[in-house]
Structure 1
Amino acid sequence: MKQRVTGGLIAGYVVLVVLATVYIYPFVIAIVDSFKTDAEATQDPMGLIPQTFTFAAYERLFFDTALPLWAANSVFITVVVTVFRVFFDSLAAYALSRLRFRGRSAIFALFIAVLAVPSVVLLIPRFLVIKELGLFDTYGGMIIPLLADAAGIFIMKQFFDSIPASIEEAARIDGAGVFRTFWSVTLPMATPALITLTILSFQGSWNEFAHFVVSRQSPELNTLTTGVGALVSGQLGSGNQFPLKLAAAVLMTIPVAVVFFIFQRRIMSTTEGAEKG
């Protein structure tokens, strides 16, 4: 029996190592190729040791492109969207979880239905709405449609449902209103869910591409995703430009990776709220 268990553990670790290698290897290739010359990256894209180690791709990104402007736009939009999305999603989820009103179940069913609709299907209607409201090619048009999402509301509602409503009774007895109870009692207990939603919101808004394509036109409003997309399309001349494109991809990945690794241990457990309650 002990030999079987040991063999099973070894086999499990081997499978995990193989899967980790398959997942990490493309990212390693991207990092290595970003330090190669364009000719070397074209001739030997899979090589793990650059024959000529150079920072030329990163220098071109910072001095020959509008990368600092793209990064500033991405940071601004991501921070605003993350803060307000976490607040609005939590507020809507609390209303659906705690308030009793006619049509509550139907509204929640609509949120679930939205999750089943591919986001690309909504791009044209979203563009038409933004255009009619006069928000096209503005920060408002890029930010406002992202301030709430059905997935975030669903996550927060499920967590609020796991918290016993009796915990809020003391606050109501003391005269606290609905919002005060939500803000001072229930929301602090939902820290694991808030952290999860913050990570997902940050990652989603930082990596957003399709929405920014249809909501803006001016180069000054480019984010990292749309700016790098222009580079991939061959904006900086002939050649494959592999090091330049991969260097941009590596730089884009760093903020999301840092946020994830900082908070990975705090990502919520679906039963944590109920256990704490």
Structure 2
Amino acid sequence: MNETPRSNDLLRPSDEDALRAELRALSTSTAFPVLFGGAVAGGVMLLSGFAGTRSRILRGLTIDFRCGLGGRAVAEQRPEAAPDYFASDHITHEYDVHVAGEGIESLLAVPVVVRGVTRGALYGGLRARRPIGEVMTDPVLRAADRLAREIEIRDEVDRRVALLSNTEPRAQRSVSESERITESYLALHELAGRISDESVAAQLRHVEATLRSLAGGDDAADTSITLSPREFDVLSHVALGCRNAEIAERLALSVETVKTYMRNLMAKLEVGSRQEAVFAARRRGLLP
């Protein structure tokens, strides 16, 4: 349950910022007047996001796994609720002073789980002893799911970016490495369209462009032939062995439109088959 290592801290925005943004959005859609949360690192969770708090007593608090309600939620990877927090006998009470200092009497903790690893937790607190039912719990569960997806996408970006530092020069590049580069910039293009944070999406597009430049943006590239962005996308999928129907599905195009792009790019490359188009594009430095 330790935090997944980050391969590119300069590129990757803070996951704590994503957590705070989720708490701000949640504050308008939940009955919990107090919301807070934190990210997991080094065997503990540091509380770093807050909405509706009246004091600073929770700020910077570190939660050990299995300690308190949140620690138990993190360790067991399931939501935990304590309608009467101070009378609860199924949790430890190391953090009673902090919970009392914020006036919380009922508490919910929901873990943020990414591919089987707990990466943080979101809390909802009430300043009264009340049952915590599905109506109150569901918005927090959805927020935790959204945050998990966001972190998962960022993890994937880091994994793809790692190719940049491990890529051989074009002359030494193997076919398998070329295919990995192609798969990576196509995946980043798809992720950029799915992510909600525009700043992260912009960074995704920047990294995608950098990976695409590995296709041949050097002095050896043939600048006499220019492929349109869609022609490039179609040819990249062809290089991965995709058929027209699969390319159409991935790019949200009709099969006939894909065929039109293929005819156009094959005419530009002066070839008569899909395989020849890939070979010619690589020879001219238009594909990795």
Write 1 or 2 for the structure with the bigger share of helix.
1
Q: TM-score of the superposition, structure 1-length normalised?
A: 0.23
Q: TM-score of the superposition, structure 2-length normalised?
A: 0.22
